[in-house]
Amino acid sequence: MHRDSERHKLFGRRAIMLAGGKSVLLSALVGRMYYLQVIEAERYRTLADENRINLRLLAPPRGRIVDRFGDPVADNQQNYRALLISENTRDLDYTLDMLNQIIAIGPSERKRIIREVKRNRNFIPVTVRKNLDWREVSRIEVNAPDLPGILIDVGQSRNYLYGEEMAHILGYVASVSPRDESGDPLLELPGFRIGKAGVEKVHDLALRGSGGSSQVEVNAFGRVIRELDRQEGQPGAEVMLTIDLGLQRMVSGRLADQSAAAVVIDVQNGDILAMASTPGYDPNAFNRGLKSSEWTELVSNPKAPLTNKSIAGRYSPGSTFKMVVLLAALEKGVISPSSRIFCKGYTELGGARFHCWKKHGHGNVDAMLAITQSCDVYFYEIAKRTGIDRIAVMANRLGMGSKLGIDRPGEQAGLVPTKRWKRGAMDAPWHQGETLIAGIGQGYMLVTPLQLAVMTARLANGGFAVVPRLTKALGGADAGDSNNITEKFDDLNLPKAHLDLVISAMTEVVNSPYGTAYKSRISETEFAMGGKTGTVQVRRISKAEREAGVVKNRDLPWKDRDHALFVGFAPVHEPRYAVSVVVEHGGGGSSVAAPIARDILVEAQRRGSARSGRVIGKHQAEPPTLTAKVEEG
């Protein structure tokens, strides 16, 4: 009995302990359920809704780019795409075979489609082909019953209306690369494109706009059931350029297939009215995706179509630099306008001869005649008297040797050499012979066509430091203020008498029978231009060649021919337009570059390309007096 009693007590204690343990566990379970269902109810309700409702980002339309008169040069067009939803087709190979009879699908493209189908869920669309034309879309839609799983989707893609004529200004858009990622969720959207060059890159953030959103209900597998709400994004801002599209197209056509550049600028407010570089490229090809063969052709072309020569091409200015040297010499007082220097066809320094382009010389020449006939010996002498450092200071004041701040990536600074520069760059002293070479714009001296145009504008507007700009308005607001453009630029403090001499001499270059560009004069007196020719050697002429006679450019390989340059302004009585033209390996400046500049200035004046611009105003240079009548016809 005692043993049974002990066993009964032990069983009772164990039952109590077991019941207690169950009670504790049950209490914990009830507590947890209470915590989840009552205290955390709102949180889990939100999580459930988020699992059921997806918020998707919508890409906004990219902003348009227009010229100064509002004509579009870059906009968006409908992009028809063929998509494949694999769950809607029983036989993927059959569908692709049928589609191949309508739009050719190559082996590599077919492999890519199959690879993406296997990678994604069967209800997620896979892009088969982008940028379909309307004929292809129509044929696909007509044959839809035989193309299970194929559907047409409509999106937007960038469209450049004038291709090569505007390529170097506008740049292009392309897919986002890892180095472009900045945390902007728009960049993570499939197929989203950003500006990679030109204006597209400079104003990418403004052109990009802000994204919209779409709330869609999905099931447990992620399949979209319906759209609950949609909010469209904010379209990108419109960018208005200073470019006159009609003039730009004319300039590009006039340069044709030559390796060349030309810039037209308003001398009063700095608006770039045309900026062409040839040959160009088709920016639409970058948008749709370049083939390897197309890329190889572009990078191997000796005329460098991908380079914007107007701001990135660096050239010796040649004789177009002589106005800078003359102003530096006059300012230092080493000569006066009437000082004469005898040219016998060469000058000597330390046993070396520095030749003039005219073999037997020009005789006695003053400043006016030296510019008009481009006498090299005159400028050798005044450069030697002035010194390279003073010449460099004048070149800097006129816009050379540094970037001009134009809102366009890729601009080069050029090079204006000094004694200090050579010591730092080459650890060598400056030689006087190098000063003579710099006096005719050769040697180390390098400039861009944009800098030459700005130099000419600063001379023609009465000595104001006009600053070039390419953006006229951004999102409807004048972009001038943001670029610190004011109605009156800094005065360069160049004596009016010196400027008048230079402008008159440039007028004589074109309009005097003795001028180097007389054959390229403008016959209409109200359109008459002034200017300066330049011919730059790209190879050294040997003594034997010089003694044997002049070697014609046309007899040399293209790469050995001289560069042809011209800078000019018009009209001479009240300058408004400045132009620079550089034709790589084109030959003579007077025979090749000057006629191009003449045609450009005539077109700009007839079009009134600068209308609606601002005027800097009161201190314009006096109209020069022509010493030779401008001939008709």
Catalytic residues: 319
CB-count burial class (<10 Å; 0-12, 13-18, 19+) for 554 = exposed
Q: Which helix (H) or strand (E) holds 472?
A: strand 471-474
Transcribe 536-584 into DSSP letters.
Answer: E-SSPPPHHHHHH-PPPGGGS-GGGSPEEEEEEEE-TTS--EEEEEEET
Whole-number Cα distances in Å, 518 to 221, 356, 462, 525, 590 = 80, 20, 24, 14, 8
Q: Which amino acid is at 137?
A: V
Q: How far apart are CA 178 and CA 194, in angstroms?
A: 12
The torsion of the CA quartet 187, 105, 116, 174, rounded to 10 degrees, works out to -10
Give the helix ranges, DSSP H, for 67-225.
92-100, 107-119, 134-142, 163-170, 198-202, 204-208
CA-wise closest residue to 319 among 588, 569, 539, 576 = 588
Q: Which amino acid is at 72?
A: P
DSSP helix/strand/coil, 473: strand
E strand segments, 337-441: 341-343, 346-349, 352-355, 363-365
Which are the contacts of 628, defined by CB distance < 8 A and separation ≥ 6? Answer: 508, 511, 512, 513
E strand segments, 120-271: 126-132, 150-160, 172-175, 193-197, 212-218, 224-231, 239-241, 260-266
CA-wise closest residue to 260 among 620, 608, 596, 621 = 596
CA-wise closest residue to 456 among 375, 370, 576 = 576
Q: How far apart are CA 192 and CA 212, in angstroms?
A: 14
Give the helix ranges, DSSP H, for 156-255.
163-170, 198-202, 204-208, 245-255
DSSP helix/strand/coil, 83: strand
Q: How far apart are CA 369 and CA 322, in angstroms?
A: 12
Tell me 344's DSSP state: S
Cβ–Cβ < 8 Å for 474, 240: yes
Cβ–Cβ < 8 Å for 261, 309: yes
Cβ–Cβ < 8 Å for 400, 448: no
Which are the contacts of 154, defined by CB distance < 8 A and separation ≥ 6? Answer: 78, 79, 80, 81
Q: How far apart are CA 451 and CA 107, in angstroms?
A: 51
